[in-house]
Structure 1
Amino acid sequence: MTEVLLLVGILVAVFVGYNIGGATTGPAFGPAVGAKVITKLFAAALMSVFFFLGAITIGPQVVDTLGTELVTDTAVFTMRSNVAVLFFIGGALFLGNYAGVPASTSMTAVGAISALGLATGELNWAILGRIVAWWIVAPVVGFWVSGVIGRYFYPRLNAWIAIEQDPDREDPMVTVTTNGGIPTIATSDDLGRRKTIGAAVVVVIGCLMAFSSGTSNIANAIAPIYGTGDVDMVTLILIGSAAVAVGAFTIARRTLDTLGNDITNLPLTAAIVVAVVSSAIVITLSWLGIPASFVIIATMSIVGLGWGRATRTTTLPGAARGEETTVSVGSLTAEEEGETPPEIGEESVEDIPRGSDLFDPSTTARVILMQNVVPVVSTVGAFLTFRFVPLF
């Protein structure tokens, strides 16, 4: 019976890993895909490789945190309870992925494990409070840092990088070709030196975000199983990482569309800003030993940048001195390469784009709603099960 439960537990862990791949690939490579730097297939391959590298190097520390510190007695991690915990984690994440909204795997997993600890009286409130405090602070920091950049510094950054996203472009800027059976990375012939550097930067930062995701999110799939002591760490990491790769190549296509296209139409400059801000925050949290809410931070960075660009103001020409009238710029137009961008308040009315799609409030509201609903479903469902079902 124990062997059967262990097999079921591993299968459910694989299901969780599959959904982690779907949920985290979008925030890591959505900006690069939305800016048409790389394809979804290439993004999935990079996600698979760098997630594993993060999981096998720093990931074990986070696994220990969730598997031994969040509850005061690891005896609660029986095979039966683990199957239930992983079931609620995987089911809730699948709900978000099905809706095309990447949910926070850390919030979902910590919620389910905390529900087990609460129902059994073994929850470590000090550890949970520390984790939740950082979850509140980090997305706010990501939103406002990106918002300030979008509102006050984006035009100068865009002029310096001098990269435009061509809406009619069909081919990605970076592709993988095979030369004698050896994969090689090639760039489009129409890219100049500065565009090539910009494309390389956004891909490298996406890889760094994938690495950071591996350090934090591998624990969400395997920590309950590891807590039983029946399977060693390396084996579980290999299984979990393989499941993440499957999710990245399949269900992640929907979240890549949401994060790269639906919330905000990201040019390459914006993609770089989002990647730098969110990856810096995630790395900092991982360094502190916090299971980072990777999806929330990256999503709020995208939202913050879109909001910042959408709320720039400009002075209407012809206004009387002392009676200047300002209007929202909706978003900044992408400056032509080589042109000097205007300062805030110096744009002309002709510079204001009509029907701008750089910030979509309705899609943003849907994303934020689902990102809160998914962890709640996992936490409440797990608590009710452990509290009222005698089997657990």
Structure 2
Amino acid sequence: MTLIIIGLAVSCFFAFNVGASGSAATMGIAYGAQVIKKKRTALLLSGVGGLLGALWGGEVVETIGKGLIASELLTVQAAVIILSVAAITLFFTNMIGIPLSTSEVTVGAIVGVGISLQQLYLDTLIHIVTFWVIVPVAAFTLTFCFGLIGNYWRRKHKSSASRQISKWISILLIITGFIEAFAAGMNNVANAIGPLVGAGVLPKEIGLLAGGVFIALGSILLGGRVLETNGKRISTLTLTDGVMVSGTSGVLVVGASLLGVPIPMTQVTTSAIVGIGATKNWGEIWKKRIIYQILKVWITSPIISLVLAYCLTEVFLRSNFYTVVMMACGIFATLLLTGFGRKAAVQTPKGKPRSLKQEF
């Protein structure tokens, strides 16, 4: 009973942080553009979007809860290990200023438990990892193509009518931001409740509702800082850029969610932004250090959560302490080699940021 309570507490905490970091960020473009002027309004919209999306996240819950390891092996103890590792990994990287995907660390933790218990559905894992590559590439390609079209269209419409057009684009920006929040809730709720559903602790319907509520609460109550940060970082995007980024990311993640694939939304959105940036300055965009930092984190984060989950499973479920010592050395070596503790140097353009509201 104690383990179940711990598992539920970690799950709720996890969902709360998903809302605070992932869901709240989806309205950053609209807020940074001053299309939505009040922070509370932006957070409320992102919270509602995350809650509604979570209610439709059943397919991803099935994959997280039952698709990677057999349900009979996913005990309450194993579920608590998965959730704890994912939460600890996210907390650690948040403290050092590196953004992570909840899907990556959760899948990595499940794989670590599966390897320790010597049972893993490899076909499903390959299917998921393939989507981790395809979807960000698709996001980059689509926004690059849309960006070229958008740049051409803006050059052709530099008239007084552009003000009226920008009003409609502002409305569209709010809609696409809401879709992105919906997608975040739909895909990420599984990371918080999937292991408990797979272990039989929570019925799926109740888990989706509870997870959605805590995602919404996290977004509304604790998402202000993320919203402010994202609003400032995207200040060089125009309104049409924002629509293309949010719309493309949201639609792709919703599509993956319907197929039951947990997707690293952070990488999808970042790839979409890079695609837009490449249309404006192809050479310079690839010189930014943040891109290589994201690629490094993309690869190392699921590996680190995998190793941690493997070690904890070996200790608490298999009583194998020797392996843990060896793996601990591996973790330490990985951190040293990747420079995981160093923050990315994000270069911001000199001068006053452009106002998104004045450009479409």
Scaled by the length of structure 1, the TM-score of the pair is 0.73
| Residues 180-195 of structure 1: pairs in structure 2 closer than 5 A | 192-195=163-166
More displaced 10-residue stretch of structure 1: 154-163 or 371-380: 154-163
**Deviation of residue 104 (structure 1)?**
1.4
The 1:374–1:161 alpha-carbon spacing in structure 2 relative to 1, beyond 3 Å, is farther
Secondary structure of 1:284's counterpart equals helix
- 2:312 is equivalent to residue 385 of structure 1: yes
The residue aligned with 1:68 is: 66
Cα pair 1:263 1:363 within 8 Å, conserved: no
The 1:40–1:104 alpha-carbon spacing in structure 2 relative to 1, beyond 3 Å, is farther
The 1:231–1:304 alpha-carbon spacing in structure 2 relative to 1, beyond 3 Å, is same
The residue aligned with 2:20 is: 22
The 1:375–1:158 alpha-carbon spacing in structure 2 relative to 1, beyond 3 Å, is farther
The 1:379–1:41 alpha-carbon spacing in structure 2 relative to 1, beyond 3 Å, is farther
The residue aligned with 2:143 is: 146
The residue aligned with 2:269 is: 298
Paired with 1:204 and 1:68, the residues of 2 have a C-alpha distance of: 33
| Residues 95-110 of structure 1: pairs in structure 2 closer than 5 A | 95-110=92-107
Deviations along 1:84-103, one digit per CA (max 9) or x if unpaired, are: 11011112222343445542
**Deviation of residue 380 (structure 1)?**
1.8
Secondary structure of 1:74's counterpart equals coil
Deviations along 1:266-318, one digit per CA (max 9) or x if unpaired, are: 2212101111221232122223222222221111111221232123xxxxxxx
The 1:384–1:294 alpha-carbon spacing in structure 2 relative to 1, beyond 3 Å, is same
Paired with 1:40 and 1:379, the residues of 2 have a C-alpha distance of: 37
**Deviation of residue 371 (structure 1)?**
4.4
The residue aligned with 1:374 is: 301
The 1:155–1:107 alpha-carbon spacing in structure 2 relative to 1, beyond 3 Å, is same
**Structure 1: 5+ residue stretches without partners:** 165-190, 312-327, 331-357
| Residues 46-195 of structure 1: pairs in structure 2 closer than 5 A | 46-56=45-55, 58-71=56-69, 73-150=70-147, 152-159=148-155, 192-195=163-166
Paired with 2:96 and 2:158, the residues of 1 have a C-alpha distance of: 35
- Write 1 or 2 for the structure with the bigger share of helix: 2
Cα pair 1:47 1:207 within 8 Å, conserved: yes
Secondary structure of 1:239's counterpart equals helix
The residue aligned with 1:198 is: 169
The 1:372–1:24 alpha-carbon spacing in structure 2 relative to 1, beyond 3 Å, is farther
Cα pair 1:19 1:94 within 8 Å, conserved: no
Cα pair 2:187 2:254 within 8 Å, conserved: no
Paired with 2:304 and 2:35, the residues of 1 have a C-alpha distance of: 36
Cα pair 1:31 1:274 within 8 Å, conserved: no
**Aligned residue identity for 2:104:** M
Paired with 1:4 and 1:289, the residues of 2 have a C-alpha distance of: 31
Paired with 2:133 and 2:249, the residues of 1 have a C-alpha distance of: 14
| Residues 234-383 of structure 1: pairs in structure 2 closer than 5 A | 234-262=205-233, 265-311=236-282, 361-383=288-310
Q: CA RMSD in A?
A: 2.8
More displaced 10-residue stretch of structure 1: 5-14 or 275-284: 275-284
Would you say how many aligned residue pairs link Structure 1 and Structure 2? 317
Cα pair 1:96 1:374 within 8 Å, conserved: no
More displaced 10-residue stretch of structure 1: 111-120 or 93-102: 93-102
Within the candidate set 7, 19, 28, 2:5 is matched to 7
Cα pair 1:106 1:217 within 8 Å, conserved: yes
Q: Which runs of 4+ in 1 moved over 6 A?
A: 160-164
The residue aligned with 1:227 is: 198
**Deviation of residue 263 (structure 1)?**
6.0
Paired with 1:10 and 1:134, the residues of 2 have a C-alpha distance of: 29
Paired with 1:300 and 1:250, the residues of 2 have a C-alpha distance of: 28
**Aligned residue identity for 1:30:** G
**Deviation of residue 29 (structure 1)?**
1.9
More displaced 10-residue stretch of structure 1: 96-105 or 119-128: 96-105
Deviations along 1:154-188, one digit per CA (max 9) or x if unpaired, are: 32343578799xxxxxxxxxxxxxxxxxxxxxxxx
- Write 1 or 2 for the structure with the bigger share of strand: 1
The 1:367–1:132 alpha-carbon spacing in structure 2 relative to 1, beyond 3 Å, is closer
The residue aligned with 2:40 is: 41
The 1:162–1:230 alpha-carbon spacing in structure 2 relative to 1, beyond 3 Å, is farther
